[in-house]
Chains A and B, each alone.
Chain A
Amino acid sequence: MALSEEQAQLKELAAKATKQIISPIVEKDEEEGIFRREVIAELGKLGLTGIPTPAEYDGAGLGYLEYTLALEEIATASVAYAVSVAVSGLPQIILNLFGSKEQKEKYVPPLARGEHIGAFSLSESHSGSDAASLKTRAVKRGNEYILNGTKLWTTQGNVADTAIVFARTGAEGARGVSAFIVEKGTPGFRAGKLEHKMGINISPTCELILEDVKVPSSNLVGQEGMGFRIAMTALDSGRITIGASAVGLGRAALEYCVQYARGRKQFDQAIIDFQGIQFMLADMYTSLEASRLLVRQAATLKDLGKPFTREAAAAKLFATDSTMRITTDAVQVLGGVGYTKEYPVERYMREAKVMQIVEGTNQIQRLVIGRSLSS
């Protein structure tokens, strides 16, 4: 797929930034679980944290296709930071689409510049795939809403400056859900326990606890009852970004394997010369290329203003399943050393798994695709 000169330059910029800013710190920080705000700030200075946000709100004013180019590059070094950029992008896309002028002016520019970090808080302990069953409540009192409840699995919830929190303002079901902008430091709003995960340990995942949190009515996004639609719209777009990140991770795994298989000799020849290895690499390459095309197709449809829900779900499903396979095989190509922490492929495999779960589990993607085919 041919890129314009401008797109190629953006890709190059993201690749360079990734190598300089992220690659040197990622191994150790992953092991120790350290998230660095300054990484996001540095990426922000280069214009990489608000790619699809309009220029009037300090974004780059580019499309989702450009966004996928940058995320792919970042994910070659760190899925955690690619996810961080993508998650900071969710409040931006939500406010760009549904926010008031005042909300956009106040909250979007610092996010787009990478000075602020964003979060998207939908899931709860009993409400995962079935997001519309969430129980966190928002009750209107005068010019405020009072929020109470506990959210789960919020990426970077503990460091975010601006969180979009979904809470129930009405009856049970999807139509009773509303979206609120909640600022860090609002009394009663705090991060709960941090999850201890198998991978992407740079990216903190936490509970968010809301105890009588007073949010001004002006921080309601759109109208009461629009929350579920807002969440689903954001997730449609978010799936493209997770797909792009999966492509980056898969590419890193494939490149590492090729380099290793060329250098490793057994039975007096490089193992890349054995068909058993070559065919594995060929399958990895093919599924990676197909994934990238699906991701870019979904991004292009979105940029053209055409429906893209089904395509985004298919891209996320295919790219993350492919990357799980690619990274599992990458450990296999490296053999014993691939299983040790001295090589990055075991980390790639651990990181791949989360992408089949976030932004809608892959079961949910199948459901989205299946429903769109049956209606």
Chain B
Amino acid sequence: MWFFTEEHKLLKKSVRDFAQSVLGPKIDELDEKEGYDRTYFTKMADLGLLGITTAEEYGGTQMGCVAATIAMEELGAVDASTALSYLAHTILTVNNIATSASDAQKKKYLPKLVSGEWIGGMGMTEPGAGSDALAMRTRAEKKGKKYILNGSKMFITNAVMGDVFYVYARTGDGRKDISTFIVESSFPGFKMGKKLKKMGMRASPTGELIFENCEVPAENLVGQEGGSVAHMLKNLDIERITISGISLGIARASIETAVKYAKERSQFGRPIADFQMIQAMLADAQAAYEAAAHYTYNIAKAWDEGLLDSNEASRASSAKVKLFAAPMATKVALDAIQILGGYGYIKEFPVERYMRDAKLVEIGAGTNEMLRVITARSMLGDL
């Protein structure tokens, strides 16, 4: 991107080197077995990645949204699962705490999260509350110096391995009576539910969080009781911009694999790259990738520059970026398989994994359908 700073370029190179040397050799096996590697977090911490949007006083590097998106793209190009786990930790947990929590809470949690000693996740979705997030039923009731949480959260990235979760729960009966709690997995009444078996993103554990009279100290309430909706939505915005980086990474890797294969593979006496049909697929993929990259980094830059000043501008811009980037990656990965033909369908080549991983981004962090609703509302106003 023309506006990348020297710092951005250095970051890009160091994350790429890390991804290729550390994540690359292990991803096939982790994908196959649905395994994960906790040590990735301390290694990413050594690169300064875990506090990428966090102030230096809490151990962060405060490089911003463009930098976070660069990290997502470089991780995503090699191991989208780890990119996703990194997103749940760094954007959904660390950035949320850094943005909304009190000084005392930041001092308590951020150093451990930014160093990778603890792994974080965010709990919003429930079995009955997906796109309709405000229909959540997990409830928190204040009893003395504690809140007692009851309910369950579903599709939580970094469940199973997480140490601390940023959890939304209902503290009143109105749709917007939502509060936030920092919940450690060691708190009484907290249980990890089952780990989900997935099509892709298999090296990033996804599961259920169960609260059975879970006791949370009152000082772990983030902000005001019932005051969480605004910052919950604001944090979804940066999530949608940065997760688009994962789509960019998957698409770029798909194209790189397809280009290399098309040049090496000969049929009818010449490389298949010579055929217009293959060239057309590659050209469309590259144009789509570049369009998505320019769009995504442009909005990330606007975020960093404070140009998305109203909540409306921020919501619609981030929704549109992901709505454009996520389906692009699925399409590019599908076409990469097609270019590789039979080889694309087997596990010896990575493109079938790219496709399985790419599809998730069309669903997580707001389905395409919800992003269209948000976008249309921004154009049409309240009808």
Contacts and interface: CB of A to CB of B under 8 A. Distances in A.
Partners in one complex: yes
Nearest to A343: B199
Interface stretch (B100-108, B141-149, B333-341): B333-341
A346 B196 CA distance: 13
Contacts of A340: 196-199
A172 B234 CA distance: 65
B338 A357 contact: yes
Nearest to A198: B352
Interface stretch (B3-11, B58-66, B353-361): B353-361
Interface stretch (B72-80, B125-133, B163-171, B185-193): B125-133
Contact of B200 (A197, A276, A336, A339): A339
A128 B132 contact: no
Given A152-B342, A196-B346, A336 B267 contact: no
Interface in B181-212: 196-200
A286 interface: no
Contacts of A277: 369
B338 A361 contact: yes
Given A153-B342, A339-B198, A361-B338, A331 B359 contact: yes
Dominant secondary structure of chain B at its interface with chain A: mixed
B330 interface: yes
B116 interface: no
Interface in B345-381: 345-348, 352, 355-356, 359-360, 362-364, 367-369, 372-373
Contacts of B364: 336
Contacts, number: 114
B268 interface: yes
B346 A195 contact: yes
A129 B341 contact: yes
Contacts of A357: 337-338, 341-342, 344-345
Contact of A342 (B197, B278, B337, B342): B197
Nearest to B34: A341
B289 interface: no
B155 interface: yes
B14 to A, nearest CB: 31
Contacts of B154: 336
Contacts of B330: 328
A350 B356 contact: yes
Contacts of A198: 345-347, 352, 355-356
B346 to A, nearest CB: 5
Contact of A335 (B344, B347, B363, B372): B363
Contacts of A328: 330, 334, 359
B266 interface: yes
A341 B347 contact: no
Nearest to B32: A196
B131 A335 contact: yes
B202 to A, nearest CB: 10
Contacts of B338: 356-357, 361-363
Nearest to B331: A328
A354 B334 CA distance: 11
Contacts of B344: 357
A117 interface: no
Contacts of B232: none
A335 B367 contact: yes
B346 A324 contact: no
A346 B200 CA distance: 9
A347 to B, nearest CB: 8
A129 B154 CA distance: 45
Contacts of A341: 196-199
Nearest to A341: B197
Contacts of B362: 332
A123 B345 CA distance: 15
A196 B197 CA distance: 19
Interface string A185-222: 00000000001111100000000000000000000000
A338 interface: yes
A130 to B, nearest CB: 4
Interface string A345-359: 010011001101100
Contact of B337 (A129, A274, A353): A353
Contacts of A199: 345
A135 to B, nearest CB: 13
* Most chain A Cβ neighbours within 10 Å, of B196, B198, B345, B364: B345
B363 A339 contact: yes
Interface string A115-143: 00000000100111110010000000000
A276 B373 contact: yes
A130 B267 contact: yes
22 contacts: A126-B266, A127-B267, A128-B342, A196-B346, A198-B347, A266-B130, A266-B135, A274-B369, A324-B334, A331-B199, A341-B196, A341-B199, A346-B198, A349-B359, A353-B334, A357-B337, A357-B338, A357-B342, A357-B345, A363-B275, A363-B277, A367-B277
Interface of A: 123, 126-130, 133, 152-153, 195-199, 265-267, 274, 276-277, 324, 328, 331-332, 335-336, 338-342, 346, 349-350, 353-354, 356-357, 361-363, 366-367
Q: Which 7 A-B pairs have the closest CB atoms?
A: A346-B199, A130-B267, A341-B197, A198-B352, A266-B132, A196-B347, A276-B369
